[in-house]
Amino acid sequence: PPGAHVPALVIGTGYGGSVAALRLAQAGIDVHMLEMGMAWDTPGSDGKIFANTTAPDQRSYWLRTRTKQPLSNFLGFPIDKDIPRYTGILDAEEFGGIAVYQGRGVGGGSLVNGGMAVTPRRERFGAILPTVNADEMYNVYYPRANAGLGVTNVDQAWWNSVACYQYARVGRKHAERSGFSFVFVPNVYDWEYMKQEVAGTVPKSAVAGELLYGNNAGKKTLQKTYLAQAKATGRVAISALHRVTSVAPANGRYAIAVEQLDTTGTVVATKNVTADKVFFAAGSVGTSKLLTKLKATGVLPGLNNEIGKGWGDNGNVMCGRANHLWDPTGAVQASIPTAGIDNWDAGGAFAEVAPLPTGIETYASFYLSITRNPHRAQFSWNSAANRVELNWQTAWKQPSIDMAKSIFDKINAKEGTIYRTDLFGVYKIWGDHLTYHPLGGAVLGKATDNHGRLHGYSGLYVIDGALIPGNTSVNPFVTITALAERNIDRIIAADF
Ligand code: FAD
């Protein structure tokens, strides 16, 4: 209720926020979570909560009147279409040089992501989070995060036999014939459910291509894991369609300004609450935007000059390859990725063998590469335009393209194949206009202390992907979760 006071307020309900809420509640602290997206707990007119990847509708995009599909073209033809403006699940947030895809709703990115739950190789951890004790992370917090998220491995015998992973087996064959290391990656999908999907005994979800706009069955999103546990404590309240616009010091507490939205994105009410402690968990972009604005507009002038810095795209770049007719990748492709090609040490790229669930045979192999891109961008406040900007440049993807080529040029040469040029435009090979993995903007040990306490203010914390300086060498959510587990442990012990 307006004017209410809470001991702990969490902004955002993604990985960092969900970990914070659960652990605080278990420690006996009442928590209120504010989430700008919808609750995603009510079916639409088709009886389903989430739309299919192949048939986007108003539920699919955050406040857009036209879809902005990551693969914008097929056989060269643009595939985007008009949709009603709605508080949908996937935000394709456009900055000057990059579109940053993010989940919107209770569960954050877990609602829309591929569920790939990858713990980085131990020897690479020092380059990811240099100030964090790796022993603690690998002995305690990565295992805790994997358990909390419900991470498991695919049954490889089944994977080897099933039609919906034909595309991944083609990916393995081509990787191994070129001498690359092909690695299975864990996931949060319920593999027993997927086996039943294939057997035809339950409604199809991953096997029907559900992913980008939500998954109606087998994926263990945060709604089913951390947030379900958090709610079960009886100490966590969640308000959906509530967007935080300000956090200001007020008599030893913080005053939080909130806008309540309707499903067209219109502000229907503004509210104020106070809190003793505030956790910024609005995601790398959401947290960075809030802090950059609050510092620049004099609301939180004591934040240091590291705010907004150190932002990276995890080196994301996409491409497709055209296979020969004897290498079909399958008309039915499970939307849940299971594997990657690891050429990080030699070429700076880890390529996930991704599905292209179009429902027809395309003879295409599709990949999302994570690369060691060195560029870092900065958020800044544009007072004339009244918005936060990001100075990323599209040309900064070139190192990522070069690193991805360390894998795919070699595979193409070996297989006698070529790149697809029809997926991102007409005669355009590289999907270099986007990222799924925003990281940084309030970097650990720079904008905050070594546990996420913001410099300049006691009782303000960052606990999401904004802490991580731009790259994790693999898909990021397990690292975001494990770091949040580590930080909240210390914060509860020392600050409450
Ligand atoms: P988020 O999960 O982004 O949560 C932040 C939440 O805060 C959001 O719900 C947002 O709506 C809310 N919010 C923002 N601003 C405000 C505000 N002002 N007020 C209130 N609420 C606010 N990672 C992997 O590891 N494996 C994968 O397979 C994978 N696949 C992906 C596929 C796609 C299509 C996308 C988009 C991402 C994928 N990711 C994947 C990335 C992963 O989902 C993110 O790294 C992760 O969700 C980030 O966690 P977070 O806690 O930092 O923030």
Decide whether any atom of ligand 1 lies within 6 Å of the 103 Cβ.
Answer: yes
Decide whether any atom of ligand 1 lies within 6 Å of the 437 Cβ.
Answer: yes
- Pair 132, 450: CB distance under 8 Å: yes
Ligand 1 atom 16: the closest Cα is on which residue?
Answer: 282
- Pair 454, 473: CB distance under 8 Å: no
The residue from 93, 437, 451, 485 that is catalytic is 437
Decide whether any atom of ligand 1 lies within 6 Å of the 441 Cβ.
Answer: no
Three-state SS for 322-363 is ECCCCCCCCCCCCCCCCEEEEEHHHHCEEEEEECCCCCCCCC
Tell me how far the alpha carbon of residue 2 lies from the centroid of ligand 1, in angstroms. Answer: 27
Identify the three-state secondary structure at position 94.
Answer: strand
Decide whether any atom of ligand 1 lies within 6 Å of the 440 Cβ.
Answer: no
451 a catalytic residue:
no
Q: Distance (Å, rounded) from C-alpha 386 to C-alpha 383?
A: 5
Decide whether any atom of ligand 1 lies within 6 Å of the 174 Cβ.
Answer: no
Q: Which of 54, 379, 383, 66 is nearest to 207 (CA)?
A: 54
Q: Ramachandran region of residue 21, left (φ > 0), alpha (ψ -120 to 50) or beta? A: alpha
Q: Distance (Å, rounded) from C-alpha 190 to C-alpha 129?
A: 30
Q: Distance (Å, rounded) from C-alpha 154 to C-alpha 337?
A: 10
Q: Complex ipTM, two decimals?
A: 1.00
Ligand 1 atom 34: the closest Cα is on which residue?
Answer: 113
pLDDT attached to residue 2 = 56
Ligand 1 atom 46: the closest Cα is on which residue?
Answer: 109
The residue from 352, 415, 433, 451 that is catalytic is 352
415 a catalytic residue:
no
The residue with tokens 């595939």 is 79
Q: Which atom of ligand 1 is nearest to the CA of 284?
A: 52
Q: Distance (Å, rounded) from C-alpha 115 to C-alpha 225?
A: 13
Q: Distance (Å, rounded) from C-alpha 170 to C-alpha 416?
A: 14
What is the DSSP track for 228-285? HHHHHTT-EEEESSEEEEEEEEETTEEEEEEEEE-TTS-EEEEEEEEEEEEEE-SHHH
Tell me how far the alpha carbon of residue 108 lies from the centroid of ligand 1, in angstroms. Answer: 5
Q: Which atom of ligand 1 is nearest to the CA of 104?
A: 11
Tell me how far the alpha carbon of residue 326 lies from the centroid of ligand 1, in angstroms. Answer: 39
Tell me how far the alpha carbon of residue 178 lies from the centroid of ligand 1, in angstroms. Answer: 34
Q: Distance (Å, rounded) from C-alpha 447 to C-alpha 456?
A: 9
Q: Which residues of 49-84 are buried (b: 16+ CB within 10 A; e: fewer)?
A: bbbbbeebbbbbbbebeebbbbbbbbeeeeeeeebe
Q: Within 13 Å, how many C-alpha atoms sit on residue 110's CB side?
A: 33
166 phi, psi to nearest 5 deg: -55, -45
Decide whether any atom of ligand 1 lies within 6 Å of the 476 Cβ.
Answer: yes
pLDDT attached to residue 76 = 80
Tell me how far the alpha carbon of residue 173 lies from the centroid of ligand 1, in angstroms. Answer: 32
Tell me how far the alpha carbon of residue 109 lies from the centroid of ligand 1, in angstroms. Answer: 3
Decide whether any atom of ligand 1 lies within 6 Å of the 109 Cβ.
Answer: yes
Decide whether any atom of ligand 1 lies within 6 Å of the 53 Cβ.
Answer: no
pLDDT attached to residue 60 = 98
Specify the long-range contacts of residues 300-305, CB closer than 8 Å, at least 24 apart.
Answer: 300/247, 300/248, 300/249, 300/456, 300/457, 300/460, 302/455, 302/456, 302/457, 303/447, 303/454, 303/455, 303/456, 303/457, 304/446, 304/447, 304/455, 304/456
Angle of helix 15-26 relative to helix 477-495, nearest 10 degrees, comes to 30
pLDDT by 10s per residue, the chain, length 496: 556 999 999 999 999 999 999 999 999 999 999 999 999 999 999 999 999 999 999 999 999 999 999 999 888 889 999 999 999 999 999 999 999 999 999 999 999 999 999 999 999 999 999 999 999 999 999 999 999 999 999 999 999 999 999 999 999 999 999 999 999 999 999 999 999 999 999 999 999 999 999 999 999 999 999 999 999 999 999 999 999 999 999 999 999 999 999 999 999 999 999 999 999 999 999 999 999 999 999 999 999 999 999 999 999 999 999 999 999 999 999 999 999 999 999 999 999 999 998 889 999 999 999 999 999 999 999 999 999 999 999 999 999 999 999 999 999 999 999 999 999 988 999 999 999 999 999 999 999 999 999 999 999 999 999 999 999 999 999 999 999 999 999 999 999 9
pLDDT attached to residue 168 = 98
pLDDT attached to residue 431 = 97
